[in-house]
């Protein structure tokens, strides 16, 4: 089998597969049941700028996030010192982002000092039987970045459980997350924003004392304010609870919506093994007393414990079904390890998306028509060959976009238009080489062979240098820049194949069947 026949069969195979890959994009709702057993069902997705939706920028509050990290580190220090069996009076986080440790005796003080000095992330300020720990800025920065990645993963789980597909959640810098969700209706917008922004810090704390006045509670415990927290309950009373909570939302294994005897929705939850053990002990020690169930600093309910409870519980309140379902989604996906806030939010209407799609289609159609007309006018019959190769190129590009399930954005459309121009550029290089060989007096068949052979290196160089730039844009860029880079890269691979293989097959078979153009300016 000669090379041209091999190229021909390979081209037909690529065309056939491209048409198969494109099919789900236009008929995603009408795919036969057997399709997924043999072919992929991925399709081209429309981005936020083409489909409409919401764009949200989330950020960390520097003060709040630092406080959270200091409190977590204080808990870690406490665990480490207890593990070394060192006796201490108290370990608390202070208002100036430090950890204060006090001791009863010098021996414990010296043992703790020696252990803490081994940690390179701490700056120690030591006085008599007292150690202040300040966290280094480098450590705070690394920890924030780590926590931000956890936030990103949790938000992805929340949005997926809500039923949203094709969402984009990306880190931006060291303190921001960008969320793009296409296709969201106005009615779902507020629910999505609530799910995204809620920290969902769930805590279970025994109620130490209850009062109708917050000032009375604060006055009573003012000398022990570092040991107690104060909350307002749903019925208007005020609670004093322990400062720390042994049982938190991270122990929740599953959560769902249930209904009571009056058909009112509430959230039932089950705990993992470690959480079940803590909950069992907590309820056993507080039979006859109230336990406050606190979500993001607000008491959701404060039931009286009637008996020891193992492994499961519920959160009741004046919930609608949507509110209860959203709370179940949030609890099941986990609480955020650090609070975040919405810095920027904008809603892109579907009409703007439709306008972008129309403009993108018009630009591609106009660019294609102008290229087709120019090539036929300037290169005559070979111009027809070029236009057929461009058509093949477009089908292949859209086939690859569908195969990989690429999200097409407006910059992505610009990348496709640029690819068309580069494909034509490759054909022009080939045809000019053929014309040079004809001017040297060679016959048409030899001119075509030499024209293609001597153009390959130039075409590869031009496309691969552009591909390097596209790869850099993909890894260093963000959002729309990545969309442009992806479509441009796919277009470059398709263009190389179209120029070197498809155009060669078409030129060989179409030109060979025509009247020989030796001595004529038919190329």
Dihedral angle, C-alpha 414, 416, 422, 427, nearest 10 ° = -150
Determine contact, residues 210/239, Cβ cutoff 8 Å: yes
- Nearest Cα neighbor of 485 from 472, 503, 500, 498 is 472
CB atoms within 10 A of CB 136: 13
CB atoms within 10 A of CB 521: 9
pTM above 0.75, yes or no: no
CB atoms within 10 A of CB 80: 14
pLDDT digits (tens, 9 = 90+) for 70-120: 888 888 888 888 888 888 888 888 777 888 888 888 888 888 888 888 888
pLDDT digits (tens, 9 = 90+) for 257-279: 888 887 888 888 888 888 888 88
Question: What is d(CA 310, CA 345) in angstroms, rounded to the nearest whole number?
Answer: 42
Determine contact, residues 386/375, Cβ cutoff 8 Å: yes
- List the structure tokens of 54: 């919401």
Mean predicted lDDT score pLDDT of the chain: 81
pLDDT digits (tens, 9 = 90+) for 404-418: 888 777 788 888 888
* pLDDT attached to residue 129: 81
Looking at the predicted structure, is the pLDDT value of residue 150 above 80? yes
* pLDDT attached to residue 395: 92
The dihedral built from the CA positions of residue 429, 430, 435 and 440, taken in this order, carries a sign that is positive
* pLDDT attached to residue 219: 78
pLDDT digits (tens, 9 = 90+) for 446-488: 888 888 888 888 888 888 888 999 888 888 776 677 778 888 8
Q: Where are the beta strands (DSSP E) in 302-398?
A: 312-315, 340-348
Kindly report which listed range (359-363, 422-426, 469-473, 492-496) carries the lowest average pLDDT score: 359-363
Question: What is d(CA 272, CA 249) in angstroms, rounded to the nearest whole number?
Answer: 11
Determine contact, residues 348/54, Cβ cutoff 8 Å: yes
Looking at the predicted structure, is the pLDDT value of residue 349 above 80? no
Angle at 423 between CA 420 and CA 429, to 5 degrees: 140
Question: What is d(CA 401, CA 394) in angstroms, rounded to the nearest whole number?
Answer: 11
Determine contact, residues 343/176, Cβ cutoff 8 Å: yes
**What string of DSSP letters covers 114-139?**
HHHTT-TTEEEEEETTEEEEEE-HHH
Q: Strand pairing of 45-46 and 168-172?
A: unpaired
What is the spatial order of strands in the sheet that 265-271 belongs to?
252-259, 265-271, 312-315
Q: Strand pairing of 176-182 and 168-172?
A: antiparallel
Burial 35-44 (b: 16+ CB within 10 A, else e): eeeeeeebbb
Question: What is d(CA 461, CA 425) in angstroms, rounded to the nearest whole number?
Answer: 13
Determine contact, residues 496/463, Cβ cutoff 8 Å: yes
User: What phi and psi values does residue 240 have, to the nearest 5 degrees?
Assistant: -110, 125
Determine contact, residues 282/362, Cβ cutoff 8 Å: no
* pLDDT attached to residue 16: 93
Domains detected in the chain: 3-51+349-513 (1.20.1640.10)
- Nearest Cα neighbor of 275 from 252, 303, 305 is 252
């Amino acid at each position: 089998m000669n090379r041209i026949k091999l190229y021909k069969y390979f081209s037909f195979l690529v065309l056939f597969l491209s048409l198969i890959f494109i099919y789900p994009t236009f008929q995603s709702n009408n795919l036969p049941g057997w399709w997924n057993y043999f072919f992929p069902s991925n399709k081209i997705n429309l981005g936020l700028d083409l489909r409409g939706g919401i764009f949200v920028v989330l950020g960390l509050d520097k003060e709040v996030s630092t406080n959270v990290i200091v409190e977590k580190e204080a808990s870690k220090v406490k665990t480490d010192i207890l593990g070394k069996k060192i006796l201490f009076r108290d370990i608390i986080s202070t208002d100036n982002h430090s950890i204060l440790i006090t001791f009863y005796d010098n021996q414990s003080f010296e043992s703790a000092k020696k252990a803490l000095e081994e940690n390179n992330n701490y700056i120690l300020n030591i006085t008599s039987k007292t150690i202040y720990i300040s966290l280094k800025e480098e450590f705070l920065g690394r920890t924030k970045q780590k926590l931000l990645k956890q936030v990103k993963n949790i938000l992805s789980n929340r949005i997926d459980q809500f039923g949203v597909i094709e969402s984009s959640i990306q880190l931006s810098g060291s303190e921001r997350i960008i969320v793009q969700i296409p296709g969201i209706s106005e009615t779902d917008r507020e629910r999505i924003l609530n799910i995204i922004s809620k920290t969902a810090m769930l805590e279970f704390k025994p109620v130490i004392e209850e009062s109708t006045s917050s000032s009375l509670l604060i006055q009573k415990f003012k000398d022990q304010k570092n040991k107690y927290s104060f909350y307002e309950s749903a019925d208007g009373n005020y609670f004093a609870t322990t400062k720390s909570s042994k049982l938190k939302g991270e122990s929740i294994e599953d959560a769902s919506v249930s209904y009571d005897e009056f058909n009112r929705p509430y959230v039932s939850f089950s705990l993992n093994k470690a959480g079940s053990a803590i909950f069992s002990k907590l309820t056993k020690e507080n039979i006859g007393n109230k336990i406050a169930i606190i979500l993001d600093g607000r008491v959701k309910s404060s039931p009286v414990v009637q008996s020891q409870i193992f492994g499961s519980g519920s959160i009741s309140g004046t919930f609608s079904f949507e509110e209860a379902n959203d709370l179940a989604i949030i609890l099941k996906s986990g609480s955020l390890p650090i609070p975040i806030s919405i810095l920027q939010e904008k809603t892109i209407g579907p009409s703007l998306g439709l306008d972008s799609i129309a403009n993108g289609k018009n630009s591609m159609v106009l660019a294609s028509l102008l290229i087709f007309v120019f090539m036929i006018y300037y290169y005559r019959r070979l111009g027809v060959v070029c236009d057929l190769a461009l058509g093949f190129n477009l089908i292949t590009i859209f086939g690859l976009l569908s195969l990989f399930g690429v999200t097409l954005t407006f910059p992505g459309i610009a990348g496709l238009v640029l690819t068309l121009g580069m494909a034509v550029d490759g054909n022009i290089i080939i045809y000019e080489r053929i014309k040079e060989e004809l001017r040297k007096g060679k016959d048409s068949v030899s001119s075509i062979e030499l024209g293609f052979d001597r153009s390959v290196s130039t075409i590869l160089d031009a496309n691969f240098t552009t591909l390097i730039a596209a790869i850099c844009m993909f890894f260093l860029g963000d959002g729309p820049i990545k969309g442009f880079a992806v479509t441009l890269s796919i277009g470059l691979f398709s263009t190389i194949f179209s120029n070197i293989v498809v155009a060669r097959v078409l030129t060989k078979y179409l030109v060979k069947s025509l009247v020989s153009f030796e001595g004529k300016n038919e190329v």
